[in-house]
Amino acid sequence: MKRKVLILCSVLFMAYGAVFLYSLGKQKSNDPLLIHDVSRLVPVHVNKIVKTQGEDGIKKALQEANKKNLPVSIAGSRHSQGGHIFYPNALLLDMKSYSKILSLDKEKKIIRVQSGGIKKSKH
Ligand SMILES: Cc1cc2nc3c(=O)[nH]c(=O)nc-3n(C[C@H](O)[C@H](O)[C@H](O)COP(=O)(O)OP(=O)(O)OC[C@H]3O[C@@H](n4cnc5c(N)ncnc54)[C@H](O)[C@@H]3O)c2cc1C
């Protein structure tokens, strides 16, 4: 039984490695619209990437997607794993620049941040 589990794990590990190497090769195409998450398992070709610039920029991007009938994907640091967060031919909202710290109450330990905020975000 143990042996079978070991063999199965090895096969899964090799399959993951093969897909990972395949996606690495695809990434080398230098196509900025071919994107992936941290797992690199499922590269997806999107229609356009919009780096969010405030609420107005997000609104404009959504209006554009609506007008062109494009699906919308939202990405932060793309640390999800499995490729499930991107739609092919989507307008991708890159939220990383929507990252201001809006307020910080040190006493109550309450922080308000824009939704692309990460640990390194600035006030
Ligand atoms: C090595 C590794 C270690 C990890 N360790 C931990 C851990 O210890 N604890 C833990 O909780 N998680 C952990 N994770 C998971 C990871 O932290 C989460 O997947 C991460 O929080 C997702 O953030 P992201 O910005 O990368 O989102 P993405 O992967 O870019 O997106 C994830 C989902 O959130 C949506 N989304 C992203 N940004 C926004 C936004 N601004 N507004 C609206 N929707 C948005 C996307 O549409 C998508 O559905 C780990 C992941 C990795 C790869």
- Which amino acid residue places its CA nearest to atom 5 of ligand 1? 79
| Mean pLDDT, rounded, for 96-101 | 91
85 CA from centroid of ligand 1 (Å) = 10
CB neighbour list of residue 54: distance below 8 Å, 6 or more residues apart: 98
What's the pLDDT tens digit per position in 48-86? 999 988 999 999 999 999 999 999 999 999 999 888 889
Number of helices followed by number of strands (H, E) in the chain: 2, 7
Nearest atom in ligand 1 to the alpha carbon of residue 73 is 47
Residue spans of the domains in the chain: they are: 2-113
What pLDDT band is residue 121 in, cutting at 50, 70 and 90? low
- Which amino acid residue places its CA nearest to atom 4 of ligand 1? 79
What pLDDT sits at residue 1? Answer: 77
Please list every protein residue whose CB sits less than 6 Å from any atom of ligand 1. Answer: 37-38, 74-81, 85, 95, 115-116
What pLDDT sits at residue 25? Answer: 63
Q: What kind of architecture, by CATH, is found in domain 2-113?
A: 2-Layer Sandwich (3.30)
Higher-confidence residue of 91 and 20: namely: 91
Would you list the DSSP string of 46-87? Answer: -SEEEE--HHHHHHHHHHHHHHHT--EEEESS---SSSTT--
Joined tokens for residue 122: 């600035």
CB neighbour list of residue 74: distance below 8 Å, 6 or more residues apart: 85, 92, 93, 95
Radius of gyration of the chain (CA): 19
70 CA from centroid of ligand 1 (Å) = 23
- Which pTM does this prediction carry? 0.79
Query: Is a pLDDT exceeding 80 seen at residue 98?
Result: yes
